[in-house]
Structure 1
Amino acid sequence: MCFGARARCIGYKLLILALISIIANILLYFPNGETRYASEHRLGRYVECLHGILGGGILILIPAAVFIGLHHDDCSGCFGHADCGKSCAMLSSALAAFIGLLGSGYCITISALGLSHGPYCSTHPERNWIYPFTQSSGGYLFEYSKWSECQEPHNIVHWNVTLFSILLVVGVIEFILCFIQIINGILGGLCGLCCSHEEAYAC
């Protein structure tokens, strides 16, 4: 078992997921590719929580960078002992993974709330904007015939459901990977990195 190589594999996966999360969150700000709704402050409350950019993005990039850079971290402060240094590095990766748990957990929570609450839209031309599906507690997700109630932005329900669902799935995967790395980091810290330098790059 190679704890260091596993950590770097997790790091690369988290890097890709974080980028997907950031892109999906940015797209939420521009329904149908239009910028005017953001400038007019006509976005849902959960769209503006930055859960994909901050939670599933930046707070995941931190542990991803730590995991990927493990081969540079020998923690030489452990009296110059290589084994001790490698164990120290693995334990620090477990702490970084905890940050990832917080970020992904935030992404999951806000995505679930965004899906349950529904989009902010206008149900009739030139009328006030509302949350028409708030009382359904997410039931609208399975009642496709009601999605047409939102007339502006066009197809906003499809847009929100798709992107919030992507962010929810990405957040869950990130959470699982970070949890695995906490276990991997603790075991690696206790047992030491068991790979040779060449094996450490195998993923």
Structure 2
Amino acid sequence: MCTGGCAKCLGGTLIPLAVFGVLANILLFFPGGKVVDDNSHLSEEVWYFGGILGSGVLMIFPALVFLGLQKNDCCGCCGSESCGIRCAMFTSVLFAVIGFLGAGYSFIVSAVSINKGPRCFMTNNTWGYPFHNGDYLSDQALWSKCEEPHNVVPWNLTLFSILLIIGAIQMILCAIQVINGLLGTLCGNCQCCGCCGRVMDQSNRLR
């Protein structure tokens, strides 16, 4: 597969992941599927917009760049005509790094929130974080510490887990594109093995 085709595949996968990340983050503003009366009752990490910014906005641009590379062909592979292709592949590496950082941000925010637990109305009639160091993850009986919003614990846990998984997948895909983009920068849009092989053949002929 040409490096441009690989980038197209990665970009096509990142788009739906970014959309799911944005949707998951939006749903977090409605704990338990209900509208809260006071936004200060929402978990702090919801306002960090990990899914909207990290896995969403910062991922859309790299994905579009990757998809645009599909228009490159293998004409002039390893020749002067491939300069544009090489530049495009190098640019995709830079965008892949941006996407990796965005996905990493979403991953970290989600991990912190899962470990911290949701903000809720506790049994002592105050709003706060009743859980400590993810203790509720292994003991579902502790979930009763949260009285309101209803089902806020599984709601937050599910959505932040989705964001965590999405962020991890996006980081892997962006890391793959970094490698793919570097190969494309060195060899153009064609297969690296065939490309580099032709370079070696030409070098041997000159000798």
TM-score, length-scaled by structure 2: 0.85
Q: What is the Cα deviation at residue 49 of structure 1? A: 0.5
Structure 1 partner of 2:19: 19
1:175 aligns with 2:175: no
Q: What is the Cα deviation at residue 82 of structure 1? A: 3.0
1:123 aligns with 2:122: yes
Q: What is the Cα deviation at residue 144 of structure 1? A: 0.6
1:1-203 mapped onto 2 (5 Å cutoff): 1-37=1-37, 39-72=38-71, 81-124=80-123, 127-133=125-131, 136-194=132-190
Q: What is the Cα deviation at residue 32 of structure 1? A: 2.4
Q: Which runs of 4+ in 1 moved over 4 A?
A: none
Tell me, what secondary structure is at the counterpart of 1:151? strand
Q: What is the Cα deviation at residue 71 of structure 1? A: 3.7
User: Which ranges in structure 2 are unaligned for 5 or more consecutive residues?
Assistant: 74-79, 192-207
State the percentage of identical aligned residues. 49
Q: What is the Cα deviation at residue 149 of structure 1? A: 1.3
2:190 aligned partner, one-letter code: C
1:87 aligned partner, one-letter code: R
Tell me, what secondary structure is at the counterpart of 1:95? helix
Which structure has the bigger radius of gyration?
Answer: 2
Q: What is the Cα deviation at residue 124 of structure 1? A: 2.9
CA contact (8 A) 2:7 2:70 kept: no
CA contact (8 A) 2:4 2:72 kept: no
1:90 aligned partner, one-letter code: M
1:130 aligned partner, one-letter code: G
RMSD: 1.8
Output the CA distance in 1 between the equivalents of 2:175 and 2:5.
16
CA contact (8 A) 1:122 1:128 kept: yes
CA contact (8 A) 2:5 2:70 kept: no
TM-score, length-scaled by structure 1: 0.87
Tell me, what secondary structure is at the counterpart of 1:92? helix
CA contact (8 A) 1:73 1:89 kept: no
Tell me, what secondary structure is at the counterpart of 1:82? helix
User: Which ranges in structure 1 are unaligned for 5 or more consecutive residues?
Assistant: 75-80, 196-203
1:106 aligned partner, one-letter code: Y
Tell me, what secondary structure is at the counterpart of 2:128? coil
